[in-house]
Amino acid sequence: MDLWFLVCSKGGVGKSTTSTNMAVCAAKDGKKVLLVDLDEKQKSAANWWQRREIEDDIKAVIVPHDIEKVKEIYEFAKKQDYDLVIFDTKGASDTLHNVIIGLATLCIIPVQPSVFDLEAIPSTVDMIKSLGKPFTILISRCPPTGNEFEKLRLGLSSHGLVCPYKTVERKAYRHAAALGLGVGEYDERDKAAEEVKNIYDWLVKTEQKQNSLKVAS
C-alpha cells in the first residue's frame, strides 16, 4: 500500500486541490483510493467527496488530528486492501505530521509562487529529511503567462527534487471542485486535465524510483 502525504507548514497552498485530483487520477489508473481529510474545520477533501456523484473506487473520511486515530485509519486501509492512501491536512508542523511522514511512501510539498509559501518550505523539508523519507516539491497555481515556473523550480531545487510539471491558475479547478470532480472529468480538453495527469504519472514513477533506490541501499 502506498501513502502520499500532502504536507506544508503553511495553509492555502493547494493541498486539497492536488489530493482530490491525484485521487481521481489514481482511481482511473485502477487503484482503490482512500482520501484522508485531517482538517476537521475546513473538510475540503471530504466535502468534495460528498459532492461527488460518480461511483468509483475513491472513498474519503474525516479523521481527527490525533495520532492514535491516524494509526487506526492506516491499519484500516491496509486491511481493506487500499492501493493508495492520500493524507490531506491543514497547514501545521507538529508531532502528528512526523507520524504520518514516517508512514508515507512519498511526501508531496505543494508551494505557490508567493514569498509566504516559499518561506515555509525549509522547515517542511527539514522535517521530512530528518525522518529520511522521499519527497518532492510541487509548484501550484502558477500564473498562466511568464517564466515564473522555471525561475521557481531552479531556486527550489536547492531544497530537493522539484516536480517538472506544475498546475496553473485556471477556472477549471474551481468549477471541478464545486461538482466533486477531477478536472479531467469536468473537461478532458482543458489544459488542467493534462497538468494533473502529467503530475500523477510523474509522482508514480518518482515514488517507484526513490523507494527502489532506498531498498537497494
How do the domains of the chain map onto residue ranges? Answer: 2-216
Whether pLDDT at 100 is above 80 = yes
Q: Higher confidence at residue 123 or residue 68?
A: 68
CA distance 151 to 171: 24
pLDDT at 137: 95
Task: Assign 170 a pLDDT band (cuts: 50, 70, 90).
Answer: very high
pLDDT at 50: 96
Q: Does domain 2-216 have CATH number 3.40.50.300?
A: yes
What does the DSSP assignment read for 75-140?
HHHHHTT-SEEEEE--S--SHHHHHHHHH-SEEEEEE-SSHHHHHHHHHHHHHHHHTT--EEEEE-
pLDDT at 10: 60
Task: Assign 214 a pLDDT band (cuts: 50, 70, 90).
Answer: low
Task: Assign 171 a pLDDT band (cuts: 50, 70, 90).
Answer: very high
Tens digit of pLDDT for each residue in 18-63? 999 999 999 999 999 999 999 888 899 999 999 999 989 999 999 9
Percent of the chain scoring above 70 in pLDDT: 94
**How many angstroms from the chain centroid is the CA of residue 185?**
18
